Structure 1
């Protein structure tokens, strides 16, 4: 919708009215021999012309600035501020009745001060406590017979199951789509808008490797959206108390009492230090790997030499590395090996074996 003609009309009417008032004031000046219309008409036309010509700078520019600022404000903040200022003005109207009986000049000034103060305090308090207010409102609605909602209309928070915030690294990794498809993730997958912006920035990179990683992340999100077993939403909240994506994720997780799904080691450590629960995809992958005990015999194809003399190295289907003593002579062939030792390291599980 184009607002330029409307803004020009508003500017013309506003400054024409100002010119009208100036003409009326001057016509009442003592000693002036001119008729009222002789001053009102020229000043009205002059003001209307002034408003029409300067409307883009006097009206349109502030309106565009306000429109851009409103686009950056999350809808939850906007709704909370609107409700808060309404309550504040109602309280100011009630207080203004007895306050207006005060002697002059307080009876004229204090009600106006109350309007600004109560309106500002109402908006500020409700924006700061918006999640508590909407949670209370959602709880009262869900308690009515036959009324229920799977998701909060204002906050986007799920009513059943925890909120699971997705990190950029886990989206690019791609395994989250396969895990979610199995139905093991009970809750709502949430992608903050700043994570989506970072993915788009990576996908637009001039480096081909980064560009392919970013595009793969966007494809993973598309797969998640089209998976029936997954409930997914996007969050517009952008915490102002943090600059980096990891810090914003931690702030959002604490704000929504949510969990973060990631495979970033540093984010894992920092979030846990701040009391935020983490679901690490790498830890999940290590936990679901096949468990072998010393003495078990498994088939293995030895594909490369080991670090020590005579060693051979092979890999199981889940990626677990198996170091085979005296396995070099079986290079590029499949043999039965007997497990001798299993080690759990930070990089994963490591199995030692000998040829059967």
Structure 2
């Protein structure tokens, strides 16, 4: 079937060539003078004759041409089966790239003659073959390069998704001075980027430059904490340079920044926490975290404490656990400085912290 199709195609090509040949001969002065005297019919018959003659020539020689084409196809197919598909793909891609590069290069020069056009074709073929050969020889390195680039892109995408999921954490002045943020970051419970606004740094600098010794020490402590976080911890810290000049208060600027960055404010300021809650800004309160991780104490549990001072109400004594939890002991005022065995009567959880109310164990036994 393929041979018949090729033979018919070659015959058709011969007919077309015959028409082109007849038209070309008619343009020659010699043939034009002879045939022009005979009339239009002779011109048409001459064209038909050229078409038939050349068509028949192509028809008779087409078996040899078809045989050569089929042999070339068989040879090409046999050799292509031995070549790996990777070489074919990389060779084709390299040839296309080479043709594109060479075409861009030769287009810079004007075409002055047919000879220069021939030279351009030769240059394009040489460059295409050269790039195809390089692509085949370096195919493993090319695959490795794109594979590594893809892995890097995927890792960056995952990292950006994790950062976006974790969100930015905007640090308040009070939580920086407090210092516990360093320990929390060190444990790895804080995810995402820590944002240090420039206006917070300015406030810390003003506090550190204060004439009041206590304020000066607090400001310097905050700056030291920031330096420790940046140098000692594997946490991304970013300084936010922009300001909100239309807003005067630092707390309001913090909430605005958190809204702009879709982040959260880390603070231990009770009032800022309430304002942020009203404005719908997420807040991570260090005090609430500290209260949440304190050991749970249930009514009826016994503990040994030391009464340190008297309480607000009559007869009350105050003691503290190691984590700073305040214990109010009924009737403990007269035992200041003494170590008592007490039993918990109730626990009060507030935003400021946890308070434990207790009675001396001996007093409890008497009541019971």
Q: TM-score, normalised by structure 2?
A: 0.53
Q: Which residue of 1 aligns with 2:249?
A: 244
Q: Which residue of 2 aligns with 1:213?
A: 218
Matched residues, number: 211
Q: Which residue of 2 aligns with 1:282?
A: 287
Q: Which residue of 2 aligns with 1:230?
A: 235
Q: Which residue of 2 aligns with 1:304?
A: 309
Q: Which residue of 1 aligns with 2:144?
A: none
SS in 2 for 1:146: helix
- Per the TM alignment, residue 229 of structure 1 is displaced from its structure 2 partner at its CA by 3.9
**8 Å contact from structure 1 (residues 313, 327) kept in 2:** yes
**8 Å contact from structure 1 (residues 149, 159) kept in 2:** no
Q: Which residue of 2 aligns with 1:167?
A: 172
- Per the TM alignment, residue 311 of structure 1 is displaced from its structure 2 partner at its CA by 2.7
- Per the TM alignment, residue 297 of structure 1 is displaced from its structure 2 partner at its CA by 0.6
SS in 1 for 2:152: coil
Q: Describe the shift of the 1:151–1:249 C-alpha distance in structure 2 as closer, same or farther (beyond 3 A).
A: farther
Q: Which residue of 1 aligns with 2:190?
A: 185
Q: Describe the shift of the 1:149–1:241 C-alpha distance in structure 2 as closer, same or farther (beyond 3 A).
A: farther
User: Does residue 314 in structure 1 map to residue 319 in structure 2?
Assistant: yes
2: distance between equivalents of 1:231 and 1:149? Answer: 15
Q: 1:24-51: CA deviations, max 9, x gaps?
A: xxxxxxxxxxxxxxxxxxxxxxxxxxxx
* Aligned counterpart in structure 1 of residue 264 of structure 2, from 259, 262, 271: 259
| Higher helix residue share | 2
Q: Which residue of 2 aligns with 1:146?
A: 152
Stretches of structure 2 lacking an aligned partner (at least 5 in a row): 1-148, 362-368
SS in 1 for 2:308: strand
Stretches of structure 1 lacking an aligned partner (at least 5 in a row): 1-142
2: distance between equivalents of 1:307 and 1:283? Answer: 25
SS in 2 for 1:335: strand
Q: TM-score, normalised by structure 1?
A: 0.54
Q: Which residue of 2 aligns with 1:334?
A: 339
2: distance between equivalents of 1:150 and 1:235? Answer: 23
Q: Describe the shift of the 1:258–1:323 C-alpha distance in structure 2 as closer, same or farther (beyond 3 A).
A: same
- Per the TM alignment, residue 173 of structure 1 is displaced from its structure 2 partner at its CA by 1.3
**8 Å contact from structure 1 (residues 150, 158) kept in 2:** no
1: distance between equivalents of 2:279 and 2:231? Answer: 34
User: What does 1:6-25 align with in structure 2 at a 5 Å threshold?
Assistant: none
**8 Å contact from structure 1 (residues 151, 159) kept in 2:** no
Q: Describe the shift of the 1:346–1:145 C-alpha distance in structure 2 as closer, same or farther (beyond 3 A).
A: closer
2: distance between equivalents of 1:152 and 1:201? Answer: 37
- Per the TM alignment, residue 159 of structure 1 is displaced from its structure 2 partner at its CA by 4.8
1: distance between equivalents of 2:351 and 2:152? Answer: 51
In angstroms, what is the RMSD of aligned CA positions?
A: 2.5
SS in 2 for 1:171: helix
**8 Å contact from structure 2 (residues 185, 233) kept in 1:** no
